[in-house]
Amino acid sequence: MKVRLAQETDIDQLIKMRWDFTLEDYPEMGERTEYSTFQKECGDFLKEAIVSGDWFIWIAENDGRILSHIYIELLKKVPRPGRITHPFAYMTNVYTVPEYRGQGVGSKLLSKVDEWAADMKYEFIIVWPSETSIEFYGRNGYTHCEEPMEKHF
């Protein structure tokens, strides 16, 4: 298994994985959306994300097949006097294909992301886990923090 950052050549697989990931929890979404429409929107997003460097999409692959992925967006903080200001990382879209779950693939990928974030001196990684993923993050050293506030529009 190889862990690396995604490239433009990975986009088709990443689109299909995002589709599958969504339909796994929300099957009705597939009934309301044409795959080709989603493919265009997601493809445009991924091309921009990879080229711009605004997102870091980490993948675990085996023989050219992506088995797992983690999306990281960096959020820059306003500088504060008296200390060096480092960005923090927002982690989302963490997914391992079903037949590779429970084999350590996701944990190996997450470990690489953690190592990378520490090397880059990011202040912290934040993730909003689903009910089913809380145990996964806990096994990998993540802890609950105070809930952020939000306002819906």
Residue 15, domain CATH: 3.40.630.30
pTM score: 0.91
Cβ contacts of 114 within 8 Å, gap of 6 or more: 125, 140, 141
- Residue 145 belongs to some domain of the structure: no
Mean of the pLDDT values across residues 8-28? 95
The structural domain count of the chain equals: 1
Question: What per-residue confidence (pLDDT) applies to 25?
Answer: 87
66 part of a folded domain:
yes
> Which residue range is the domain that position 73 belongs to?
2-139
Strands (E), 1-153: 2-5, 55-62, 65-75, 88-96, 125-127
Q: Are 122 and 88 in contact (CB under 8 A)?
A: yes
Q: Let me know if residue 134 belongs to a domain.
A: yes
The residue among 117 and 149 whose pLDDT is bigger is: 117
Q: pLDDT, tens digit, for every residue of 54-112?
A: 899 999 999 999 999 999 999 999 998 998 899 999 999 999 999 999 999 999 999 99
Neighbouring CB atoms inside 10 A of 30's CB total 14
Helix (H, G, I), strand (E, B) or coil at 126: strand
